Amino acid sequence: MISRRRFLQTGTLAGLTFGAGSLARAATNDACAPLPPSIAALKSWKDQAAPITKEERLARQENARRLMTTNHLDAIVLMEGTSLEYFSGIRWWGGERFFAMVLPAKGAALYVCPAFEEARAREQMVQAPDGEQADLRVWQEHENPYQRVAQGLKDRGIATGTLGLEETIKFVFEDGIAKAAPQVKLTSATPVTAGCRRIKSDHEIALMRLASKVTITVYEAAYGALHAGMTRDELQELISTAYDRMGFPGEASVQVGEFTGVPHGSVTNQIIHEGSVILVDDGCSVEGYVSDITRPFVFGKATDKMKSVFDVVHRAQAAALKTARPGIECQAVDAAARKVITDAGYGPDYKFFPHRLGHGMGMDGHEWPYLVRGNTTLLAPNMTFSDEPGIYIPGDFGIRLEDDMHITENGAELFTPQSPSLEDPFTD
């Protein structure tokens, strides 16, 4: 799991792999130097995470079919990414080669796969509702894979229907489908994919709640390991090691001092000193469901100005939480937090709070819908968002408080407690 902001800060994916590589790194760290006690004390929570089942994916596909009918779509196309995993359990990376799942409103799903990848595909397709009976059509390297899609659509009576494409599909694949099936109308599948994914099940909520608790536990352990002279990179590495010890892939982007005054930070080398504001952001993945949490704290004593800005941001986060409830427009939650910040003198508008209040969350760190001005989407129970107001003072410091928010039947809750202060950032 590499967040967008982390990618922007590093400028490269090198060295940011998880899984076996990060576990090996942690083992090397253990062998070469003792871990700080707060990190060494962490234990795995992996046994607390229950995987999504085949039966749950079948229910998701049936929900998608209902939404296809409502939105006048005959089928949707899913390629590599979280929507493919959401509906099928398949985690795929294919590069320039075409691998896709076509889910029709009526009838069985269709899979199109490079012939040499068939074994890998079938191994993963046991997670899908159709399992070993799936309609899998392969293509050789010299063949046109889009003809397999076109024929599959004809076999299902969709030769002249409407086909929704998942929003992350590249143009080269869209163009290939369009040329192979010219009588099919191509449109967006977002009303179906986002329509399903924006409302979480109780199981999904439980996984996200666990991910948030893991992240706070890791942050608190890292906070206990701070020392003067520590670099930003060293703190990020400690946090990655802490996630390894807890059994989940995770990472953090860290900014120090004046660089906290830029929302997504800087690639500049940064060192922690007495009185430094430190901003730790991002999260982990638990059975495919993510957390995204930001904690600001000070190494040593905070100034009165730092404390004042923290208080404003804290009140803005609380105002958003109090406003959020079913039936309220997404934009109203952003407005509630922004009013607190503007009324405190950190306006007008986007001057010191330059980004939206929050984003939807689930299998992606950022997904539909968004808490932003102009979004009239109504909140509904079991939607999940980040609640992350901030004040950024260029050249001085920035404060952002971010917790993950769950819309309940009657209001909203945070998965983790609000941070009480810069000098005591974690609540027992």
| Distance of alpha carbon 118 from alpha carbon 141, whole angstroms | 13
Q: Alpha-carbon dihedral of residues 58, 59, 61, 65, nearest 10 degrees?
A: 140
Going by pLDDT thresholds of 50, 70 and 90, the confidence category of residue 94 is: confident
Is the peptide bond prior to 191 cis by the omega test (within 30 degrees of 0)? no
> In the predicted model, what is the mean pLDDT of the chain?
92
Measure the CA–CA gap between 88 and 61, rounded to whole angstroms.
9
Contact (Cβ atoms closer than 8 angstroms) between residue 48 and residue 224: no
Question: Does residue 28 carry a pLDDT above 50?
Answer: no
Among the listed residues 75, 68, 73, the one whose alpha carbon sits nearest the alpha carbon of residue 111: 75
Element (H, E) at 185: strand 185-188
Contact yes or no for 105/63 (Cβ under 8 A): no
Rounded to whole angstroms, the Cα distance separating 367 from 24 reads 32
Q: What is the DSSP string of 236-280?
A: HHHHHHHHHHHTS-B--EEEEGGGGGSTT--SS--B--TTEEEEE
Task: Report, as an integer, the average pLDDT of 9-20.
Answer: 38
- 8 pLDDT exceeds 70? no
Q: Tens digit of pLDDT for each residue in 269-310?
A: 899 999 999 999 999 999 999 999 999 999 999 999 999 999
Q: Copy the structure tokens of residue 353.
A: 């709070």
Residue 417 in tokens: 């407690």
Across 387-405, average pLDDT: 97
Q: Is the pLDDT of residue 145 over 90?
A: yes
For 352-381, write each residue's pLDDT tens digit.
999 999 999 999 999 999 999 999 999 999
Question: Is 416 a residue whose pLDDT tops 60?
Answer: yes
Instruction: Give the pLDDT confidence score for residue 132 in this predicted structure.
Output: 79
Confidence of residue 427 (pLDDT cuts 50, 70, 90): confident
Residue closest to 157 by CA, chosen among 131, 132, 189, 183:
183
